[in-house]
Structure 1
Amino acid sequence: MKILITSGGTREKIDAVRSIANHASGSLGKQIAEKFLAQGHQVTLVTTKTAVKPARQPNLCLAEITDVSSLIQTLEPLVKTHDLLIHSMAVSDYTPVYMTDLDEVQQAENVTELLSRKNSQQKISSAADYQVLFLKKTAKVISLVKQWNPQIKLIGFKLLAGVSKDTLFAAARKSLINNQASYILANDLFEIKADSHHAFLIGHTEIHEAFTKSEIAQLIYEKGIQND
């Protein structure tokens, strides 16, 4: 099988020296990739420069991205040529539009007019005590996958923080249906520790529980190669 995996976390640029990023390390994606590689599958790993990665080997192809825009540009042609996508990357929900000092915001007659402006400086001045950063929602990459390739098998991820199991499961099932996925890996940030990772692999008719990254990788491997 030709396996496509995303891992790590995207980074959205504010200016030439600043960006908004998340804390995703890519460690789970790395273990999942290693599981498929160990069984002789061809793996393409779409990841970031700072994410951890498997050792280079003949069946592994690495593609590095930075932000959501580059992820979409890189992912679309790959989705069209692979059998299975495991979308474990932490994708930024918002991207910077304009950053300015608080005085400009307070003086603006129409704050929404500021959304049409762009920062021209390579490095935005840090002279002001307070800055306001306007953010714009990014595209939901997982929602594009089946548009690019209706035949690809999709395993997505849903991460929430400090919620009930019912809330977590409901969010996972919504993603499962909306994105036409085969499975969604549902996990709570508060249940991810250095030596443990509690998660649930949720399908349309089944739920599987795991307690470590190794168990998650094994579950995803087993369900990924299984015929639906």
Structure 2
Amino acid sequence: MKLLITSGGTTEKIDNVRGITNHSTGRLGKTIAEKFLSEGHQVTLVTTKSAVKPSDHPNLSTHLITNVDSLITTLEPLVKTHDAIIHSMAVSDYTPVYMTDLKEVEETTDLAQLLTKRNTETKISSQADYQVLFLKKTPKIISLIKEWNPNIQLVGFKLLVDVTQEELFQVARASLVKNKAQFILANDLTEITGNQHHAYLLNQHQAFEAFTKDDIANLIYEKVTEND
């Protein structure tokens, strides 16, 4: 099986010094990749420079990306040539458009006009006490995967924070249906500490429980390969 895995977290630039990112380390993606490699599968890992990665392996190829735009450019041709994708990367929901001091915002009579502006400085000045950062929504990568390759087996991820199991399952299954995924790995940030990682691998009718990253990797391996 040719398996594609995304892991780590994207970073959206504010200027050449600053950026918006998240706390994803890539550890779960690394663990999943190592499981498939240990079973003799070909693995392509799309990740970031700072994310943890498996050791070099003859069946492993790695592609580094930075932001959502580079992720799309890298991922689209790969999706078209792989059998399954484990999309565990934490993708930025928003990207910076323009950052300015509060005074400019207060003095403007047309906020929409500010959205047409772009910062040109290599490093935006930090003299102002307050800055306003305008953001725009990025494309949902998971929603593009089946458009690129309707036949690829898709395992998506849904992370919420401090919710009931009922809400977690409801949101995850909505994502499963919307994005035509075979499985969604549903997890709550409050139940992730170190290697402890309580999660559920869901399809439309079943929920398979895991308690560690190794459990998750083994569970995903079992379900993705059971009809291989």
- Tell me if TM exceeds 0.5: yes
Give, in angstroms, the shift of residue 166 of structure 1.
1.0
SS of the residue aligned with 1:211?
strand
SS of the residue aligned with 2:171?
helix
SS of the residue aligned with 1:167?
helix
SS of the residue aligned with 2:78?
helix
Q: TM-score, length-normalised on structure 2?
A: 0.99
Runs of 4+ in 1 over 3 A off after TM superposition: none
Give, in angstroms, the shift of residue 11 of structure 1.
0.3
Question: What letter corresponds to residue 174 of structure 2 in structure 1?
Answer: K
Matched residue, 2:3? 3
Matched residue, 1:145? 145
Give, in angstroms, the shift of residue 165 of structure 1.
0.9
Matched residue, 2:162? 162
Q: How does 1:181-220 map to 2 (within 5 A)?
A: 181-220=181-220
Matched residue, 1:38? 38
Quick one: distance in 1 between partners of 2:142 and 2:171? 14
- Does 1:175 find its partner at 2:175? yes
Percentage identity across aligned positions? 65
Give, in angstroms, the shift of residue 111 of structure 1.
1.2
Quick one: distance in 1 between partners of 2:103 and 2:152? 50
Quick one: distance in 2 between partners of 1:158 and 1:195? 18
Give, in angstroms, the shift of residue 164 of structure 1.
1.0
Question: What letter corresponds to residue 74 of structure 1 in structure 2?
Answer: T
**Count of equivalent residues:** 228
Quick one: distance in 1 between partners of 2:132 and 2:167? 32
- Segment of structure 1 superposing worse, 110-119 or 20-29: 110-119
Unaligned runs of 5+ in 1: none
Quick one: distance in 2 between partners of 1:86 and 1:227? 16
1:165-203 deviation per Cα after TM superposition (whole angstroms, max 9, x unaligned): 111111100000000000000000010011310000001
Unaligned runs of 5+ in 2: none
Quick one: distance in 1 between partners of 2:133 and 2:15? 11
Q: How does 1:50-199 map to 2 (within 5 A)?
A: 50-199=50-199
